[in-house]
Chains A and B, each alone.
Chain A
Amino acid sequence: MNAFLELLTKLKRSSNRDLQKSYLTDYYAAVSSAEILYAIFFLSNKQQKHYIKLNDVKSFILEHATIKEWLLEASNEVTGDWAETYSLVMEDTSQEFISLSVAYQWLMQVTMLPWEKRMNTAHARTCHLHQDIRTFMMKWWMGNGRFTLTAQVLVQSLASFTGLTEDIIAQKLDEGFEPDKVDFKTLFYRFDNLKFKPVPFFKGTAIQEIPPLPLDSYSVEYLYSGKRCQIILTRGNVYIWTRSGEVLEGFVDAFQFWKNDIPDDTIFEGQWLAEDASISSKSGFSKRKRIDITASRFVMYDLLKVGGRYVYNEPYHVRRQMLDEVFPKQPDVRISIGEALRITTHADILYTRQLAAQKKYKGLIFKESAGKYGDEKGTAWLKLKNQPQKLMVVLLYVAKASAGQPYTEYTFGIRWQDQFLPITKAYEGLTNEEQRCIDEYVKQHTIEKFGPVKSIEPKLVFEISYEEIQASARHRSGVVLKSPKILRWLKEETVAAVATKEDINQLIINVE
């Protein structure tokens, strides 16, 4: 920590940037890479939060140093810094040094405490330390830790130390990091973590009714299923960000050769239409090699940044035009531009809704041609989801949350050859009376018990609804349903009416 404090003093003493840079690079060369990380953390640290209140510091000193307030104030006039006044007045005979990492730990620990304990703990923790360290730490706690080093100086010094470009360093520092959770190498030399940030995803507004005609001021498109992504092409790298904040590692190759045609520093938005819903789990990409990524594809429908210039505030029709212009003439076959649908009549809407359902898309989206990406009201995008789909299924298992309660978890199945395959669970949609009848049926027709779960004779037929169906290698039925609900109990129907695996396959094959 000694070296770091000396560095700080030197940096404060000189405003000459070249000199500051040389102090920094000398320092990097002299200390361990772990210490450098902590140093960078403090030097680039923008925190101005107050973790300890000035009043708590003052009353602590007044209580322990037996001086009066006027003398304390007069003392502070000399130093001009309460943290320093504190550490000078509360001078301790021992003058120990600690490492920067320990200082960091203690700094953080105090911030976790309730307010009333912080000052006492901070003092108890640090009173045996060298006065310069105590000043430094108290400054930080008091929200005065910000050190006004020009960001550029830090970036340039690190660039020359690491051999990386300033852009990359700036990006890494901008993301922030916790020096105790990462090492120098990982932070600076792992480019797969170099997460050039996406633009905040625009949510839009869900609507239930078809918007009134005419729709001249809108562009109508499919509301795709799959994963919404922003594809960032920058500095020779491709980053595919999902809306949930993951960076996808698969599919990057599809953009690899593409990026040569695109101006550097460009962000597209599009949808990844994955065939298999199980890919969408984070681990799916790295671990599940069996999944054929070529079976999925990307539909691009927006342009948010081009050649380093953000364009998300341009009207949508302008962005679409730009998208057409920058889009390569021969893209990878897996990448296409989303189509704009021609809608003039009410019948057109009904028809395209039907098409959307057939294509297994979520529905339609109406984008205001003059709208920005992300308007304040959120009405620049109106999302009309498909009407729920229906399926006839048979009840296979029941389970209850606790003994003495009625069954509340129902597992339904479809037919496959001469057996039944579970397809989904559902919880809602039955009346109390129906629940009681089922309880009665279970008593008579239980086949096996697995803990709280009972398998029953597959005779009861239900109609369920769902919003979306997706292929899934992880489910025996090969599909997962989104938002399944029990619509009704079809007491007249027999299992012959229950959907088969073939029926289900029909539902999912048609992804184009």
Chain B
Amino acid sequence: MSELLINTKNGLYCPQADVFIDPTGRVDRAVITHGHADHARPGHQRYLCTVDAAPVIKFRLTSNINIQTLPYGASVNINSVKISFHPAGHIIGSAQVRLEYKGEIWVVSGDYKLGSDGISAPFEPVHCHTFITESTFGMPIYQWKEQAFLMNEINDWWKKNQQNGIVSVIQAYSLGKAQRIIQNIDNTIGTIITHPSVESTNAVLRQQGINMAETSELNSKITKQQLLSGLIIAPPGTVENLLKSKGYTVSVAAASGWMAIQKYRQRGGIDKGFVLSDHADWNELNKAVKDCKAERVLVTHGYEDIFSKWLNEQGIEAHSLKNFYK
């Protein structure tokens, strides 16, 4: 019997429904888990995503794409395949994709995390027969701390810089991490200053009704005083050198799961690393696999071999996605 989903050169494909999930090549019909560039690509004929993910996807890919949306939990039937989205907790609008055909249920996790970040809809486990999970941080060395603890770390770093006349720059991609920091940082410390690419994303999200703390776009209207007391949120490499060339002392922080590892923290260009990730850590991956009660787990997007070997040892049938379809 052929599988409900198969792996093709364009990515995961459901032959019965004739849809691709987060396809890499140009396809007719694409189901998109979330707006990140490695998931939502331009050039497809038709798009299907969550209501919350759609505005950003349109904003990033052009507004004239043919896009159909579903709220979390609602479903469409495409050639007898029931397709629905369920919160993945990764970023605003991010979803797991559930596909059901003749009682056979598959869930594609997309990117996800279990910890609540205060801005995206929290992850919901979805029972299924086959669970396709990401494994970006599928090793026991990756175990995240509470968000509140990390935010305190960031607050402290910011305050200390402020006292020492140092400009605080925190590197964050314009969709996801940026909003998470804006939403959870202590904005009584100073102004939150955002790079234009972050600010334009914020505008889209605010427009769709997301409540977000006040931010000021980094432009010529920002005063020296604001720079010295504020927190600048900008994509990596966009503002640091400019500020330094203007004579500011700058402390550059990165917020990412990779910052757990010393050798990554010690790479040039970063003065401070915060272990703040939008992906599941080791414990969350294990919990997600357990909670969805899958009979079979396919591992992709990270430590595929290691995490699948581990799951097999735990008595859960698992394969790395790439080997499974060989």
Please tell me if B142 contacts chain A, counting CB pairs below 8 Å: yes
CB distance from B311 to the nearest CB of A (A): 11
Contacts of A10 in B (CB 8 A): 271
**Chain B, Cβ-Cβ closest to A135:** B262
Cα of A80 to Cα of B271 in the assembled complex, Å: 21
Interface of B is mostly: loop
Choose one: B139, B146, B265, B271; the contact of A93 (CB below 8 Å).
Answer: B146
Stretch at the interface among A66-74, A98-106, A222-230, A400-408: A66-74
Q: Which B residues lie within 8 Å of A135 (CB)?
A: 262
Name A's interface SS. helix
Known: A71-B140, A88-B143, A93-B146. Contact between A81 and B271, CB under 8 A?
no
Q: Is the CB of A93 within 8 A of B145?
A: yes
**Contact pattern, A 143-179, Cβ under 8 Å of B = 1, otherwise 0:** 0000000000000000000000000000000000000
CB atoms of A80 and B141 under 8 A apart: no
Question: Are the C-beta atoms of A12 and B266 separated by less than 8 Å?
Answer: yes
Cross-chain contact B313 with A68 (CB below 8 angstroms):
yes
- Minimum CB distance partner of A76 in chain B: B141
Is A91 close to B, CB under 8 A? yes
Mask, B130-154, CB within 8 Å of A = 1, is 0000000001111101100100000
Q: Which residues of B contact A70 (CB under 8 A)?
A: 309
**Residues of chain B with a CB closer than 8 A to A89's CB:** 140-141, 143
With contacts A93-B145, A93-B146 known, what are 20 further pairs, Cβ within 8 A?
A: A6-B272, A9-B265, A67-B140, A71-B140, A71-B306, A71-B310, A72-B140, A75-B139, A75-B140, A78-B139, A78-B141, A79-B141, A79-B262, A85-B141, A88-B140, A88-B142, A88-B143, A88-B261, A89-B143, A135-B262
Min CB distance B163 to A, Å, is 11
- The complex places the Cα of A65 from the Cα of B283 at a distance, in Å, of 12
A residues within 8 A CB of B143? 88-89, 91
B263 part of interface (Cβ distance < 8 Å): yes
A2 to chain B, nearest CB (A): 9
Whether B141 contacts A75 by the Cβ 8 Å rule is yes
Asked if A13 is at the interface of the complex by the 8 Å CB criterion, the answer is yes
Which one of A6, A70, A88 has the greatest number of beta carbons of chain B within 10 Å? A88
Residue A84 is within 8 A (CB to CB) of chain B in the complex: yes
Q: Which residues from chain B contact A71 at a C-beta distance below 8 Å? A: 139-140, 306, 309-310
Q: How far is the CA of A68 from the CA of B309 in the complex (A)?
A: 11
Find the residue from B139, B145, B262, B271 having the highest chain A CB count within 10 A.
Answer: B262
The 8 closest A-B pairs by CB, nearest first: A88-B141, A91-B143, A75-B141, A89-B140, A12-B266, A13-B266, A75-B139, A67-B140
Say yes or no for A120: interface residue by CB 8 A criterion: no
A136 to chain B, nearest CB (A): 10
- Give A23-66 interface residues, CB cut-off 8 Å to B: 65
A79 touches B263 (CB 8 A): yes
Query: Chain A residues with Cβ under 8 A from B272's Cβ?
Result: 6
Distance, CA A267 to CA B266, complexed state (A)? 46
A-B contact pairs, 12 of them (CB 8 A): A13-B267, A14-B268, A67-B310, A68-B313, A70-B309, A74-B139, A75-B141, A79-B263, A85-B141, A89-B140, A93-B146, A95-B145
B248-290 CB mask vs A (1 if < 8 Å, else 0) is 0000000000001111011110111000000000000000000
Cα–Cα, bound, A421→B262 (Å): 76
> Chain A interface (Cβ within 8 Å of chain B)?
6, 9-10, 12-14, 65, 67-68, 70-72, 74-75, 78-81, 84-85, 88-89, 91, 93, 95, 135
Q: Are B262 and A81 in contact (CB under 8 A)?
A: yes
Find B261's partner among A6, A78, A95 (CB 8 Å cutoff). A78
Contact B139 A84 (CB under 8 A): no
Q: How far is the CA of A91 from the CA of B260 in the complex (A)?
A: 11
Q: Which residue of B lies closest to A65 (CB)?
A: B140
Nearest opposing residue in chain B for A13, CB measure: B266
User: Chain B residue with minimal CB distance to A30?
Assistant: B164
Residues of A within 8 A of B149 (CB): 95
Residue of B nearest to A6 (CB): B272
Task: For the complex formed, measure the closest distance between the CB of A305 and the CB atoms of chain B, giving whole angstroms.
Answer: 43
Task: Please report the C-alpha to C-alpha distance between residue A38 and residue B300 in the assembled complex, in whole angstroms.
Answer: 47
The residues of B that contact A12 with a CB separation of less than 8 Å are 266
Contacting residues, chain B, for A85 (C-beta < 8 A): 141
Give the complex CA separation of A78 and B141 in angstroms. 9
CB nearest to A67 among chain B residues? B140
A95 and B146 alpha carbons, distance in the complex (Å)? 11
Given A81-B262, A84-B261: A74 in contact with B306 (beta carbons within 8 A): yes
Chain B residues with Cβ below 8 Å from A13 are 266-268, 270
> Whose C-beta in chain B lies nearest to the C-beta of A61?
B140
Contacts of B267 in A (CB 8 A): 13
B263: A residues at CB distance < 8 A: 79-81
CA gap between A71 and B313 in the complex, in Å: 11
User: A68 — nearest CB in chain B belongs to which residue?
Assistant: B313
Min CB distance, A181 to chain B, in Å?
31
Closest to A10 in B: B271
B261 contacts across to A, CB distance below 8 A: 78-79, 84, 88
Smallest beta-carbon distance A496→chain B, Å: 88
Residues of A within 8 A of B141 (CB): 75, 78-79, 84-85, 88-89
- Measured in the bound complex, the distance between the Cα atoms of B262 and A78 in whole Å is 10
Please determine whether B266 and A9 come into contact, CB atoms closer than 8 angstroms: yes
- Cβ contacts B35-78/A at 8 Å (1 or 0 each): 00000000000000000000000000000000000000000000
CA–CA, A102 to B192, complex, Å?
Answer: 37
Give the CA-CA distance A67 to B140 in the complex, in Å.
8
* Closest CB in chain B relative to A84 CB, distance in Å: 6
Q: Are A88 and B260 in contact (CB under 8 A)?
A: yes
> How long is the Cα–Cα vector from A88 to B149 in the complex, in angstroms?
17
**Distance to closest chain B CB from A86 (angstroms):** 10
Q: Find chain B residues with CB under 8 A from A14 CB.
A: 268
A79 CB to closest chain B CB (Å) equals 6
Distance between B127 CB and nearest chain A CB, rounded to angstroms: 26
Complex contacts, A81 vs chain B, CB 8 Å: 262-263
